[in-house]
């Protein structure tokens, strides 16, 4: 298990599905990625999109912080999906990840609030931030 932990529980079987998700992001996922997470915009930390973890695909993951960010669409409001999300989050937390969840509506209509929430978590829980990428 420790070897798998070294790879953040990467599941290569899910790679084609993760790629498919990366190639067809939701509007909210796209906005979060390009406006906050891509190119180490979040305090210099590198995030990955649609990363397989154990038996799931996380919307966004920062390996260095053991942080997963999920963006939930309207279908996440159904009781069945909420229960699946609860089980999924519990499993990811058992593996050592922290999961931050935001709704599509929050990302699309209050990105500043989302940015502050993620930034606050990163600054409070992250070690000293890595050096920002050099401009070039």
CA distance 4 to 23: 26
Residue 131: inside a domain, yes or no? no
pLDDT in tens, 9-38: 988 999 998 999 989 999 999 999 999 999
| Any domain includes 47 | yes
In a domain, 132, yes or no: no
Residue 133 in any domain: the answer is no
Write out pLDDT tens, residues 82-116. 899 999 999 999 999 999 999 999 999 999 999 99
Number of domains in the chain: 1
When computed from its CA atoms, the radius of gyration of the chain, rounded to whole angstroms, is: 15
Rounded CA separation 10/95 (Å) = 12
Listed residue (47, 54, 42) closest to 7, CA to CA: 54
| Domain region containing 93 | 2-125
What pTM value is reported for the model?
0.86
Q: Is residue 69 part of a domain?
A: yes
pLDDT tens across 32-80, in order?
Answer: 999 999 999 999 999 999 999 999 999 999 999 999 999 988 666 778 8
The rounded distance, in Å, linking the Cα atoms of 58 and 18 is 9
The answer to whether residue 38 is domain-embedded is yes
Q: Which of 88, 73, 80 shows the shortest CA–CA distance to 9?
A: 88
């Amino acid at each position: 298990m420790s070897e798998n932990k070294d790879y953040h529980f990467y599941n290569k079987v899910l790679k084609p599905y993760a790629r498919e998700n990366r190639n067809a992001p939701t509007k909210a996922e796209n906005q979060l990625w390009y406006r906050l997470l891509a190119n180490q915009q979040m305090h210099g930390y590198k995030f990955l999109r649609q990363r397989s973890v154990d038996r799931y695909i996380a919307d966004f993951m920062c390996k260095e912080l053991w942080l997963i960010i999920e963006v939930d669409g309207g279908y996440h409001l159904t009781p069945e999906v909420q229960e699946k999300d609860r089980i999924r989050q519990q499993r990811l937390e058992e593996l050592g990840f922290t999961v931050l969840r935001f709704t599509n509506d929050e990302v699309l209509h209050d990105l500043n609030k989302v940015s502050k929430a993620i930034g606050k978590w990163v600054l409070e829980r992250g070690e000293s931030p890595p050096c920002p990428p050099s401009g070039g």
